[in-house]
Amino acid sequence: MAEKNILAFFHTSEQAERIVPKLKALRAIDVSVDRIHQINGTGVSESMNPLTGSFPGLSFLTLGQEGEGIDEGILSAASVDASGMSAPMEEVFSGDFGGTDRMDTLLTVVIDEQYYDKAMRVIEEAGGKI
């Protein structure tokens, strides 16, 4: 039998995790839930005062991102992931532009073709965006 893939976005990891047992009951071959971000940073692991210390830029302070050039630093600092002050993108925000309505959780499903339509209904009923 042929396999099909589904990629769906959710607001929270918990929202996506709730339907994993239902998808496994439909004999999903593989299911994963991951948080995604535009900018991969390690997060902040140290405290420092930006007024008295030397630091490469805003994305270093908020995301822990190092080793980027001036152009990359400017672009990453303009991201909502780094500052929260940039304009939101419609494809990841669906209403509350304060950041609480961001769809940054990705549910990936590999499922047998005969269960594909049922899996799609389960995901859509749970609030997933395909």
Task: Report pLDDT digits (tens) over 52-74.
Answer: 666 666 666 666 666 667 777 77
Angstrom distance (rounded) from CA 128 to CA 62: 29
Domain locations along the chain: 1-36+104-130, 40-86
Task: Report pLDDT digits (tens) over 74-125.
Answer: 777 666 666 655 555 555 455 554 444 567 789 999 999 999 999 999 999 9
Angstrom distance (rounded) from CA 106 to CA 34: 5
**What kind of architecture, by CATH, is found in domain 1-36+104-130?**
2-Layer Sandwich (3.30)
* Mean pLDDT on 40-57: 59
Angstrom distance (rounded) from CA 21 to CA 119: 11
Continuous H helices in 26-115: 58-63, 70-77
pLDDT attached to residue 41: 52
Inter-residue contact 78 to 98 (CB < 8 Å): no
Angstrom distance (rounded) from CA 19 to CA 22: 5
Angstrom distance (rounded) from CA 75 to CA 69: 10
